[in-house]
Chains A and B, each alone.
Chain A
Amino acid sequence: MITLYDYELSGNCYKLRLLMSMLGVDYKTVPIDFYPGREHKSEWFLKINPLGQLPVIDDDGLVLRDAQAILVYLASKYDPSGTWYPRDEAALLGEISQWLAFADGITGTASAARLHDALFYDFDVEAARVGAHRLFRILDEHLWFGEQEGRIWLCSAAHPTIADIACFPYIMLSEEGGIPRQDYPAIRRWCDRVKRLKGFMVMSGVFPAGPAKAA
């Protein structure tokens, strides 16, 4: 049984809940008082993750940290369809890794701005917002050109991959950091597509999409 060390308002924890929901994987959570308790920096938690970061999973003794790494593990082990992380498709794996790294960039900018505004982290919020807009512009163009070519997900496949799951949460939560998405229509359409995937679940701050308009 998977144990997720979890904080409700964390987008990086949410992406694991989201993938596990879509894969139909059972798990239990250990709530961590990330704020205001800073339990992720407590002595007992640092023994589990010396980086003092969430999320962490424990799958029958295998302890893994880092949201993107855990997505790779979960999809590799628990996705019988093999589509979320297709182990035999080299080019696609390369693309997925590229967007997993991009997701870390979103965490470093959009999520940082949200932590500044909501939880009073001492970050340079203007730099974080500028950085997030730069990434969002790149992503919006990538998605817009994809739509012209019939590609509706981040990577060159007819189905979503863990790259979509990795990038989704902190884009959806960006307004809480003062980063509106009104100038990124292709991102907004892609977010709605993610929300309509089977097994989609919300977190606080993310609302479900309405039904898709009939074409």
Chain B
Amino acid sequence: MAKTRCTDQVILNLWHPLAALSEVKPNVVVDTILLEERLSYAVDGKGNAAVWRDRADLIEGSTVDVATVADQLPVKHAYGYIWTSLGDPQADLFPIPEFDEADRRRLNAATIGVNVSAPRAIENFLDMGHFPYVHTDILGAEPHTEVKEYDVEISVDRDEILATRCRFFQPMAAATASGGADVDYVYRVPHPFCSVLYKSSPLDESRRDVIAVFLQPIDQEHVRAHMMLCLLDEDNEDKVIKRFQQTIFGQDKPILENQFPKRLPLDPRAETPIRADKSAIAYRRWLSQKGVTYGVIPAAT
């Protein structure tokens, strides 16, 4: 196997997202970066994709038949994105069963470059405490600032973190919302750099909208954030749904980019959590247990 700049074998062996399938022109080479390695990819419009290490005979913008590319990296289509791995990945990616429900809207809200480490971005995604201050009058509003008690578990079977019984008052929980409501949240972290959020659907109280953030680590302090939406919404145009999500993400972006230190400290004494940070504490512990070193400051041993 080729030598990689990233030496974290846990991270190397994972599947990582590269691009939304819907946004890639068929048979044209596109360049990207994953874990500091220059990669290229292409799709053929018939459901096939190829990913390979960047090389001079297949430069960006050139035409390619994906079936003929030599020395391909592992490739997977999942949740509307192309995924690859620089190591030896498991056969399956984490499941999101709701993705296959026929009446859902599935789209990439955007892929946005952010000057942040992947773990810091995941932690922000898990945090409800910032809603009233950063997403004022959308996902929160003063004086409704309390993060009520919620449950967190690290599921050994599924190897993921699950935060349940999360509730928050939201003035405008989704593009479909018509007013403020107490919204139920469930968070999953099934991958060190991916998180899936379930929140009450304004349209059907028995079901939940699914919003996932899939982070493509460019290096230890930069990501491409792919935002997957899988929603119940019969009325709004795609661009209205995307606009809502991009507005939220645009509010988070300066917060993410101003985190210091940029890498996530895993030593429990490094930053002082409050009760509302239970999920973040579990996430840091889980990364430590896995032995993740990329994008983090490992605890001293």
Verify that A and B bind, or say they do not.
yes
Q: Contact residues of A with B, CB < 8 Å?
A: 8-9, 31-33, 35-37, 39, 117-120, 175-176, 178, 203-205, 207
Add 10 more A-B contacts to A33-B238, A118-B112, A178-B115 (CB < 8 A).
Answer: A8-B247, A31-B243, A33-B242, A36-B23, A36-B111, A118-B114, A119-B113, A203-B250, A204-B249, A205-B253
Residues of A within 8 A of B115 (CB): 117, 176, 178
Interface of chain A: mostly helix, strand, loop or mixed: loop
Query: DSSP majority for the B interface?
Result: helix
Q: Which residues from 251 to 288 on chain B have a C-beta closer than 8 Å to any C-beta of chain A?
A: 251, 253-254, 257-258
Measured CA separation A125–B246 after assembly (Å): 23
Q: A8-B247, A204-B246 are in contact. Are A176 and B257 (CB under 8 A)?
A: yes
List of B residues within 8 angstroms of A9 by Cβ: 246-247, 250
Q: Which residues of B contact A176 (CB under 8 A)?
A: 115, 253-254, 257
Q: Are B251 and A205 in contact (CB under 8 A)?
A: yes
Chain B: how many interface residues by the 8 Å CB criterion?
Answer: 25
Is B139 an interface residue when CB atoms closer than 8 A count as contact?
no
Is there contact, CB below 8 Å, between B112 and A37?
no
Question: 6 A-B Cβ contacts within 8 A?
Answer: A8-B247, A118-B253, A178-B115, A204-B246, A204-B247, A205-B250
For the complex of A and B, 7 pairs with smallest distance between CB atoms:
A204-B250, A33-B239, A204-B251, A31-B243, A8-B247, A118-B113, A9-B250
B126 contacts chain A at the CB level, 8 A cutoff: no
Chain A residues with CB under 8 Å of B242's CB are 33, 37
CA of A175 to CA of B258, assembled, Å: 9
- Compute how far the CA of A187 lies from the CA of B249 in the bound complex, rounded to whole angstroms: 26
Residue of B nearest to A29 (CB): B243
Report chain A residues within 8 Å CB of B253.
118, 176, 204-205
Q: Is B40 in the interface zone, CB < 8 Å from A?
A: no
